Amino acid sequence: QITLKESGPTLVKPTQTLILTCTFSGFSLTTRGVRVGWIRQPPGKALEWLAVIYWDYDKRYSPSLKSRLTITKDTSKNQVVLTMTNMDPVDTASYFCVYMMRDNFADHWGQGTLVTVSS
């Protein structure tokens, strides 16, 4: 059974750096074809892809946020970490961790974690 769970701060101040961790089970991020990604959703708004990391350490970032994002993995801990710098109130959103295997769509989702950016 595949599960993913996001963790991190619920409140960050403007200009701070956000660090979110996705802890997963039921698969290995060393298996060929497996990817883990991050998606966010501001309250009442649409979904937005942020970043994806591949089993072979390849990475893809949203072009509009690339300068602020870093995605890494720790296969020994079954974790993927997303770092977003220079947080702003417009970054207030639920952040979801997702698993991809068959194609580049999200097969499985974490429950999401709400991050509020406010002073």
Partner 1 sequence: DIQMTQSPSTLSASVGDRVTITCRASQSISSWLAWYQQKPGKAPKVLIYKTSSLESGVPSRFSGSGSGTEFTLTITSLQPDDFATYYCQQYSSYWTFGQGTKVEIK
The footprint of partner 1 (CB under 8 A) covers 37, 46-49, 52, 60, 62-64, 96, 102-107, 109-112
Q: Which is nearer to partner 1, 15 or 25 (CB)?
A: 25
Q: Which is nearer to partner 1, 29 or 50 (CB)?
A: 50
State the minimum distance, in angstroms, from the CB of residue 15 to partner 1. 27
State the minimum distance, in angstroms, from the CB of residue 43 to partner 1. 11
Looking from the CA of 97 toward its CB, the CA atoms found within 13 Å total: 28
Residues found in the chain: 119
Distance CA(96)–CA(83), nearest Å, equals: 13
Task: Give me Rg for the CA atoms of the chain.
Answer: 13
State the minimum distance, in angstroms, from the CB of residue 50 to partner 1. 9
Q: Which tokens in the block code for residue 30?
A: 């060393």
Q: Which is nearer to partner 1, 35 or 73 (CB)?
A: 35
Q: Which tokens in the block code for residue 62?
A: 């949203």
